[in-house]
Amino acid sequence: MLQGHGLDYSCASKLSESQLQAEYAESDVLLFCSTLEGYGMPIIEAQTIGVPVITSQKAPMNETAGAGALLVDPGQPSDIREGVEQVLNDATLRSQLITAGRANAQTCNAGASAQRHAELYTGLIEEWKDR
């Protein structure tokens, strides 16, 4: 159907890490309008590389994406289409999404995650000491 409408797209699977990064780097946008995910790792992968993200307004995608994505209703094709048109045609929006996405991805790296866990555990230990 995509080819029939003259849309350029790719579909790849079983990629190595370097192949996956190359696919993201060659992309104009990540369209990830899932309705059910455990976390939404493709969002972070695309943001890390500097690809603008369009994703579902549903949890957990909206939470994973932070301010670094354009959120759309995954059940409304017209909303998805409008989002894609916005990102592809608005250089300012695209730039804002890339900048905010990179910042969001930094909060999801291993070091930041470890720091948040350490703060959480330290807070819990302090609470238990006060009991």
- In this structure, what CATH number is given to the domain that contains residue 75? 3.40.50.2000
pLDDT in tens, 82-106: 999 999 999 999 999 999 999 999 9
SS3 state at 66: coil
Residue 100: how many other CB atoms lie within 10 Å: 18
Residue 3 in any domain: the answer is: no
- Is cis: bond before 60, omega within 30 of 0? yes
> What is residue 66's predicted lDDT score, i.e. its pLDDT?
94
Residue 20 in any domain: the answer is: no
Is 67:106 a contact under the CB 8 Å cutoff? no
Print the domain residue range for 100. Answer: 28-129
SS3 state at 108: coil
> What is residue 101's predicted lDDT score, i.e. its pLDDT?
97
Residue 65 in any domain: the answer is: yes
Residue 11 in any domain: the answer is: no
> What is residue 129's predicted lDDT score, i.e. its pLDDT?
80
Measured CA to CA, the distance from residue 69 to residue 61 in angstroms comes to 9
Measured CA to CA, the distance from residue 6 to residue 4 in angstroms comes to 6
Residue 35 in any domain: the answer is: yes
Number of domains, the chain: 1
Higher pLDDT residue, 124 or 69? 69
The whole-number average pLDDT for the span 76-86 is 96
Residue 1 in any domain: the answer is: no
